[in-house]
Structure 1
Amino acid sequence: MSAQAPGMNLPDSATFERLAREAMAEIPAPFSSYLSDIVLVVEEVADPATLRALSIRDPMRLAGLYRGRPIGEKSSFDVTSYPDEIHLYRRPLLAEWMATGETLGAIIRHVVVHEVGHHFGLSDADMHALEDSAGDDD
């Protein structure tokens, strides 16, 4: 959708989470078997501390973020108190949805696959291949 129609209800956080879970369910094996413990977090925009840490001034420039240690850097000796998380930022994603004409599902899938790639420590080329194998959009 390229513009919001008057009176249109924008998708809420629960819709974003559902679309993100659907995107994660499309990720093929063997990757999918390592995703069950990732926590999905939907927020309006990134908090100021996150933006400062990433040297981002405009919160609308960050659509998603992986927080955690990539699997390849983990050890059975690690003491971890925080789960791996994928954060989706609703307002930047909505802005992209309205500006591009892409489906919201496709936009969320792209961001989720990118963040899952960070979970695995993948390169950008690996992330593109994973996204291509996740299937076509709605």
Structure 2
Amino acid sequence: MGRAQHQGVGADALAPSLEDLERLADEAFAALPDQFRALCEGVVIRIEDFPDDETLDQMKCETAFDLLGLFRGHGLAQQGAGPQTGQFPNMVFLYRRPILDYWAEHEETIGSIVTHVLVHEIGHHFGLSDADMEAVEAAAG
């Protein structure tokens, strides 16, 4: 008997790479409603295998697999008139290995997980309710 298949992925398929996840994140972002994307003007989406040790400590994570994504930056309320000199752009980090670990344990597509993490990292930072974020995800398909 061959290795188990996950959601139609063949036994010889490779796990999505950093580049694959970047493409999925770009597609997920493009599918979000215009009003939600307007909140994110200038946001940078970065894909990394794992959060760094400093981030894990700040977020009080027990393992490197505990954090699927993170928003770093300033919400609209904190920005005031706009970015200050020397301020880094708003960034959303998606962590590939924890996302893949989650994907392996749940019955969701990798694309829906990426969309969910992206929406929630941005949405929580901008003060959206869970209901608001569910509506954004539903509108994105």
Q: TM-score, normalised by structure 1?
A: 0.86
Aligned to 2:100, which of 94, 98, 101? 94
Residue 3 of structure 2 is matched in structure 1 by none
Gaps of 5+ in 1: none
Residue 40 of structure 2 is matched in structure 1 by 35
**What is the CA-CA distance between 1:61 and the residue it aligns to?**
1.0
Aligned to 1:128, which of 107, 119, 134? 134
**What is the CA-CA distance between 1:3 and the residue it aligns to?**
9.7
Q: TM-score, normalised by structure 2?
A: 0.85
Count of matched residue pairs: 135
Residue 112 of structure 1 is matched in structure 2 by 118
What SS class does the counterpart of residue 96 from structure 1 fall into? helix
Rounded Cα–Cα distance in structure 2 between residues aligned with 1:132 and 1:6: 31
Gaps of 5+ in 2: 1-5
After TM superposition, the runs of 4+ consecutive aligned structure 1 residues lying more than 6 A away are: none
Letter in 1 for 2:139: S
Residue 25 of structure 2 is matched in structure 1 by 20
What SS class does the counterpart of residue 60 from structure 1 fall into? coil
Rounded Cα–Cα distance in structure 2 between residues aligned with 1:42 and 1:83: 15
**CA deviations over 1:57-88 (Å, ceiling 9, x no partner):** 21101101111111122111652520000000
Larger radius of gyration: 2
Rounded Cα–Cα distance in structure 2 between residues aligned with 1:96 and 1:110: 12
CA shift in 2, pair 1:74/1:95, >3 Å: same
Of 35-44 and 9-18, more deviation after overlay is shown by 35-44
**CA deviations over 1:67-126 (Å, ceiling 9, x no partner):** 111112211165252000000000011111111131110110110111120342212232
Q: Map 1:58-77 onto structure 2 (within 5 A).
A: 58-76=63-81
Rounded Cα–Cα distance in structure 2 between residues aligned with 1:110 and 1:92: 14
RMSD: 2.0
Identity %: 39
**CA deviations over 1:8-51 (Å, ceiling 9, x no partner):** 31111111011111111111122223434111111111111001
